[in-house]
Amino acid sequence: MLSNFIAVAFALASAITVAWGTVVRHRIALDAPGPVMRTSMANPLWWIGTLAAVVAYGLQIIALGFGTLLVVQPVLVLSLMFTLPLAAWYSRRRMAFHEVFWSIALTVAVGTMVVHGRPSPGMLQPSWNDWWPGLIVGIAALASLGAAAWRFRSYRALLLGVSSGVIYGYVALLSKSVVNNFTHGGFSALLSDWPFYALVLMAGTGTVMQQYSFHAGPLSQSLPAMTILEPIVAFALGYAVLGEKFQVTSLAGWTVMATALAVMIMATIILSRVPVGATTKTSHSHPR
């Protein structure tokens, strides 16, 4: 119980930090007049926003050291709830009632999945036979999404957002595996096993993919898919690869879990469609 409490605390800190970094980097990406990455990297604020993402990831790693994927990932979804007031502050506007309502609904749904689901730990070091089916599915999915994003330009922001969510779902899985390796074998076990190197590759790819999804269109097109697919992919991989499970056995219990997941998805979609760059209902007492 104490370890789960610590995991939730660090996951909340990670969600707050990544929310601020997301708002900063999205604004820079939208305003980029030239090549996205080169223009963004020339802006000092982009590096600060990127540093925030690194700090948030460090907090996520600590959370995963204390809790399971099934505990940490739902809490990270709350980064969206924290993004809204930060985006409103940057855009000098007030949050609408429906934004507040769905933020509360999202919080309740996440709390229900963590408390009612009571996730149990999985395997510390899964075998290659546990890994390869999930990796093959991920490679096939990303290849298909990349081809679709290249072909259908009007849906590029959405498709790149979906790709980012899938990538970060795998980053979460690899992070948990790397944490387990380090906890039980130290640096030698960490550096001698392939998940560490796969994690570095996937994290870098996810950062670039996310920046391009921000540039391809409004945050409302990419953020819902990105935010909600990460925990869903991580849930599936936690079950399939690590063997983590929710301790729910009754039909009524699974109905509650399904309802919470549905509310989480709905709240994420609705909240992500709030126009981050809007300047309506301006309050000049709030600085940019």
| Greatest mean pLDDT among 193-197, 207-211, 215-219 | 193-197
pLDDT at residue 228, as a whole number? 78
pLDDT at residue 286, as a whole number? 36
pTM over 0.85: no
For residues 59 and 7, the answer to whether their CB atoms sit within 8 Å is no
**pLDDT, tens only, 50-106:** 888 889 888 988 998 888 888 888 888 888 778 777 777 776 777 777 878 888 888
**pLDDT of 160 higher than 80:** yes
- Cα 79 to Cα 222: distance, rounded to the nearest angstrom: 15
Q: How many residues does the chain have?
A: 288
End-to-end CA, the chain = 41
Residue 62, C-beta contacts closer than 8 angstroms, at least 6 positions apart? 10
Question: What tokens appear for 192 in the block?
Answer: 């001698």
Helical H runs in the chain?
2-30, 36-41, 44-66, 69-76, 79-91, 97-117, 128-151, 156-192, 194-216, 219-237, 251-272
